[in-house]
Amino acid sequence: MPSVTRKNRPHEGVPMRAWSVLLVLCGAIFLEGIDVAMLNVALPAIRADLGLSTGVLSGVVSAYVLGYGGFMLLGGRAADLLGRRRMFLSWLVVFLAFSGLGGLATEGWMLLAARFATGVAAAFLAPAGLALVTGHFPEGPQRTRALGVYAGTAAGGFSLGLVAGGLLTSIGWRWVFFAPVVLATLILIAAVPLLRDDGPRPPRAIFDLAGAVTVTTGMLLLVYGVVRLEHGLTAGTLAVFALAATALALFVAIERRAAAPLVRLAILRSPSLVRTNLVALLFLASFAGFQFMVTLYLQELRGWSPLQTGLAMLVVGIDTVLAPTLTPWLVDRFGTGRVLFGGVASAVAAYSLFLPVAPDRTYAAMLPGLLLLGLAFALSYGPLTMAATDGVDEPEHGLAGGLLYTSIQFGTALGIAGVTALSTAGGMDGIRAGLVLPVVAAAAALGVTAVGLRRTPPSAPPPGGDVPSARSSASR
């Protein structure tokens, strides 16, 4: 009995230094989330100041997604092969530098270039950070707790970034870019002495250059094709998708013959891994589309200021409290899959409540949906992060993180492209049409999650006889 009690204490057996490392890594993932969310609130102010067209304004968001999604698989594998600490610190510097350059932009092309480079930096930074978290905490309740805190901080960045973006934009939109520079500098100062290289690496880091070139080319083209969908399924978009498919097919052929492949293709044969990434894609597609539509509704149709918009969305930030406290306990009690199902179901309900939106709808009528959205993030983002590396060998945690964040970025791009295409009518009719997509995408994610629950063996015991935790294959 005493041994079981010790296993259930999340801090026992883990050095305080590991929790200090977690705090630094949480700062980095919070930085990434808040950076994206703040920019979304500031878009109308940026367009007014720089005189950007709608296409260029959309490109400011798409450029980041293009760099992030295009280089994510390469970033994830680079962390495993070249060192997670090295990748984390070096690309944090790049993120810091180009975020600052974005704040100095005076032309649309400068902002586009800065956002693309920032996205590339995030593509190397994010999977290295996730792999560092899993490397510092043993599998079981400690890792479940750590990942709950980590994912909760990431989700909090998305929601609190809306408030911070409103506050900073009221001062000046350039502070949306300068504030992350200050935060990134503080994280860098703390990370240098704390982080050590961890996790096994190949004795010789043989880099699959041909695989790296083809997969990055294919991913860039694929993301670009998704971004172009907001203008319709044109012949040019189909050509981009065809080139992407060719590059990715060539990549698969190279990986099958490579002595040291960039991506071990067998990792993609896991049904659980595929379901996790598909749910992540659909969940973020629904959220990105919803956030984009609600921002336009509140600012351009209702005439609310960026600060009012941010404060209105503040209640979504309840995930910042719930994700690191309630979610790990629920995962240990009920398993990752059931908690995820509850979170995605909350998202379906939240988006459905917004469908009857009207020009004079009161904030009190919007509040239940926003609260449900905060609960949805609290119950979904953590389990998705936990499931991303569950059952994956330690040397491939960077790759698994890369797959998860690639799915997230594809979902973001699809969500924005989809609602943009649906809302071409403009005005209130356009907003109502665009808000249908988040409901459909979240419902599809709920269906995929339910498939995973049905395939769970009814009496599968947790591995090793430990108390139930996210590492149980049955929990997914």
What digits encode the pLDDT tens for the residues 462-475? 333 333 333 333 33
pLDDT at 175: 93
H-type helices in 104-174, by residue range? 108-136, 141-171
Task: Tell me the pTM.
Answer: 0.79
**In angstroms, rounded to a whole number, what is the distance separating the alpha carbons of residues 445 and 278?**
7
Contact indicator for 131, 3 with CB cutoff of 8 Å: no
Contact indicator for 68, 120 with CB cutoff of 8 Å: yes
Question: Phi then psi for 256, rounded to 5 degrees?
Answer: -65, -25
User: Closest Cα to residue 224, out of 421, 117, 66, 56?
Assistant: 66
Q: What are the structure tokens assigned to 441, written together? A: 């995408």
H-type helices in 363-467, by residue range? 363-389, 397-422, 427-434, 436-454
Give mean pLDDT in consecutive 10-residue pieces for the chain, a chain of 476 residues: 41 71 91 84 85 76 81 82 89 94 91 92 90 84 83 77 83 92 94 76 65 82 79 86 93 84 80 92 92 86 84 82 85 91 97 92 93 92 85 79 83 83 83 94 96 63 36 34
Please list, residue by residue across 67-98, b when 16 or more beta carbons sit within 10 angstroms of its beta carbon and e when fewer do.
Answer: bbbbbbbbbbbbbbbbbbbebbbbbbebbbbb
Contact indicator for 430, 424 with CB cutoff of 8 Å: yes
Per-residue pLDDT of 13-33, as tens digits, reads 567 888 889 999 999 988 888
Domains 16-195 and 265-455 share a fold: yes
User: Closest Cα to residue 84, out of 400, 353, 467, 356?
Assistant: 400
pLDDT at 414: 82
pLDDT at 281: 93
Fold assignment, 16-195: Growth Hormone; Chain: A; (1.20.1250)
User: Closest Cα to residue 24, out of 226, 147, 191?
Assistant: 191
User: Closest Cα to residue 374, out of 328, 319, 294?
Assistant: 319
Give the H or E element holding residue 405.
Answer: helix 397-422
Q: Considering the domain 265-455, what is its CATH architecture?
A: Up-down Bundle (1.20)
Distance of CA 227 to the CA centre of its chain: 17
Greatest extent of the chain over all pairs of C-alpha atoms, in Å: 68
Cα separation values, 45 from 166, 169, 179, 196, Å = 10, 7, 17, 41
Contacts for 458 with CB less than 8 Å, ≥ 6 apart: none
**In angstroms, rounded to a whole number, what is the distance separating the alpha carbons of residues 389 and 380?**
15
pLDDT at 216: 81
Q: Decide: residue 360, CB within 10 A, 0-12 exposed, 13-18 middle, 19+ buried.
A: exposed
Per-residue pLDDT of 397-425, as tens digits, reads 878 888 888 888 888 878 888 888 888 77
pLDDT at 221: 86
Domains of the chain, by residue range, sit at 16-195, 265-455
- Number of Cβ within a 10 Å radius of residue 358: 10
